[in-house]
Amino acid sequence: MTSEPILTGLYVPLITPFTDDLRLDRGALVRLADDALAAGASGLVALGTTAESATLTPEERRTVVRVCAAACREHGAPLVIGVGTNDTASAIASLRELAADGDAAAALVPAPPYIRPGEAATLAHFTALAEQGGLPLVVYDIPARTGQPLSAGTLAALGRLPEVVGVKHATGAIDATTIELLDHPPQGFAVLGGDDIVLSPLLAAGAHGGITASANIRTADFAELAALWRRGDAGPARRLGADLARLAAALFAEPNPTVIKGVLHAQGRIPSPAVRMPLLAASAASVDRAAHLADTSARHEALTPC
Ligand X SMILES: O=C(O)C1=N[C@H](C(=O)O)C[C@H](O)C1
Q: Find the part of the chain contacting ligand X (CB under 6 A) among 62-70, 71-79, 178-186, 211-219.
A: 211-219
The CA-based dihedral angle spanning residues 230, 42, 255, 302, taken in that order and rounded to the nearest 10 degrees: 50
The terminus-to-terminus CA distance of the chain in angstroms comes to 46
50 annotated ligand binder: yes
Beta carbon of residue 51, minimum distance to ligand X (angstroms, whole number): 6
- In sequence order, the 6+-apart residues with CB closer than 8 A to the CB of 254 are 282, 283, 286
140 labelled catalytic: yes
The residue (of 200 and 212) whose beta carbon lies closer to ligand X is 212
89 vs 269, beta carbon nearer ligand X: 269
Q: Is 261 a catalytic residue?
A: no
Catalytic residue (one of 11, 114, 140, 261): 140
Residues 6+ apart with CB under 8 A from 126: 109, 111, 137, 139, 158, 161, 164
Taking the complex as a whole, the smallest distance from the CB of residue 136 to ligand X amounts, in Å, to 16
Q: How far is the CB of 43 from ligand X (least distance, A)?
A: 12
Smallest gap from Cβ 120 to ligand X, in A, equals 25
Give the contacts of 35 (CB within 8 A, at least 6 positions apart).
219, 269
142 labelled ligand-binding: no
- The reply on whether position 256 binds ligand X by CB under 6 A is yes
| Candidate list 211, 225, 228, 282; residue touching ligand X; CB under 6 A | 211
Nearest-CB residue for ligand X = 48
Among 52, 196, 243, 254, binds ligand X (CB under 6 A): 196
Looking only at residues 5 through 44 of this chain, which bind ligand X when binding is defined by CB under 6 A? 13
Please state, in angstroms and as integers, the Cα–Cα distance from residue 184 to each residue in 92, 153, 179, 203, 226, following that order: 29, 12, 9, 15, 20
Among 213, 228, 247, 287, binds ligand X (CB under 6 A): 213
Is position 49 an interface residue for ligand X (rule: CB under 6 A)?
A: yes
Residues labelled catalytic: 140, 168
Residues near ligand X (CB under 6 A): 13, 45, 48-50, 194, 196, 211-213, 256
Residues comprising the binding site for pyruvate? 50, 211
